[in-house]
Structure 1
Amino acid sequence: MNLPNTITLIRIVLIIPILWCLYQPIEIYQWWAFSLFLIAALTDWLDGYLARKLDQITDLGKFLDPLTDKILVIAPLLVLIERQIIPAWGVFLILVREITIAGWRVNPQQKTVSGANLWGKFKTVTQIGAIALLLLPKYPWALSTGIIIFWLSVILTIISGLIYLIPPSSKT
């Protein structure tokens, strides 16, 4: 297990205290959830950077990193549905795309596991931005901005999914 993959696994483990904090009634715990979420999200960049810098890119990392992104995004989105901040059907669209592309990436007919493309990365950044804003306690501007960014992330989720599924046309 190399350093980038270890960081990725730590990001998965951070979901537990994030969720625990989100269910606590005292505002300080909401701030803890927000902070831990940002740490987990920012270390997504760190593990990728280290994998490239240390030449430690592995198929395990190509599989674990997007899976970790999905767990990190879906867990708080489910809490936001429960709090009636975002609609379930928007999250459903995200879930369908994520499950479909996860299966597509590990297609046994492929020789290697494919990593995320630029659209997928942009989609993830907008999802994380929306969630971070929606986790902030007691800031109306954050709520309205977070909702707008959430819907932008849903649109990017659909676009990035279609890019994976629709093969590029070949020019002859």
Structure 2
Amino acid sequence: MNLANKITLARIFLVPVVMIFLLVRFDLGSVHLGQVTLKVSELVATLIFILAAVTDGLDGYIARKNKIVTNLGKFLDPLADKLLITAALISLVEMQRLEAWVAIVIISREFAVTGLRLIAVAEGYVIAASPLGKLKTIIQIVAIVSLMLNNVPFSIFSFPFANIATVLAVAITIISGLDYFYKNRKIVALTKSEQ
């Protein structure tokens, strides 16, 4: 197993660690910032989540630079991304920092695009990540981090950054999903005509 795949696997193993620090009631103390109290365990979970998110670009960069792109890596990388985002969203719903419908919209889009990619592979096509898809991932990560931190430091100034980032994440998630389907409508039409 090459270095890029090991990094991807590490990202997968960090997913339950993030959830544990977010959802298990560790008494590691808390930090008071203005009217917001943030648990140290939530800070730790956020740092681990950021570390895991950063490895998303790192593993792909290493694989391409060293020409060690493998089928295992192509399978594990998107799986790791989806596990990380999905676990964080579900944890935030459990923590009552995110509305369930937001998580459902984002997760549903991931299932839909994954299904589209499976159809494309069956037809002999490969759907590469689009610029909108990459932007979607970045905005989702920013929104998740701001929600994990309970809008700190923006809460000190009563600025609803987390809410704005969440709205943007939902919007770009829907737009990028529609973009994938529109740009690959011929693949969907082709499979329908053959059924």
- TM above 0.5, yes or no, is yes
| RMSD between aligned residues | 2.2
Alignment partner of 1:118 out of 119, 123, 131? 131
Note the alpha carbon deviations across 1:9-58, whole angstroms, 9 max, x for none. 11011011111111233322111101100100011111011011111223
Q: Percent identity?
A: 42
**Contact between 1:97 and 1:161, CA under 8 Å: does it hold in 2?**
yes
Structure 1 position 110, deviation (Å): 3.4
Instruction: Output aligned runs, 1:53-64, within 5 Å.
Output: 53-64=65-76
4+ runs deviating over 4 angstroms: none
- How many residues align? The count is 170
Larger radius of gyration: 2
2:147 maps to which residue? 134
Provide TM-score, normalisation by structure 1.
0.88
Higher share of residues assigned strand: 2
2:172 maps to which residue? 156
Letter in 1 for 2:93: I
Aligned equivalents of 2:185 and 2:129: distance in 1?
20
2:59 maps to which residue? 47
Counterparts in 2 of 1:138 and 1:157: CA distance versus 1, 3 Å:
closer
Provide TM-score, normalisation by structure 2.
0.79
Aligned equivalents of 2:53 and 2:18: distance in 1?
12
1:24 maps to which residue? 24
**Contact between 2:21 and 2:41, CA under 8 Å: does it hold in 1?**
yes
- State which drifts further: 59-68 or 136-145: 136-145
Note the alpha carbon deviations across 1:57-88, whole angstroms, 9 max, x for none. 23332332122111111111111112221211
- State which drifts further: 101-110 or 123-132: 101-110
1:82 maps to which residue? 94
Q: Which runs of 5+ in 1 are unaligned?
A: none
Q: Which runs of 5+ in 2 are unaligned?
A: 28-38, 187-195
Letter in 1 for 2:68: Q
2:193 maps to which residue? none
Letter in 2 for 1:147: N
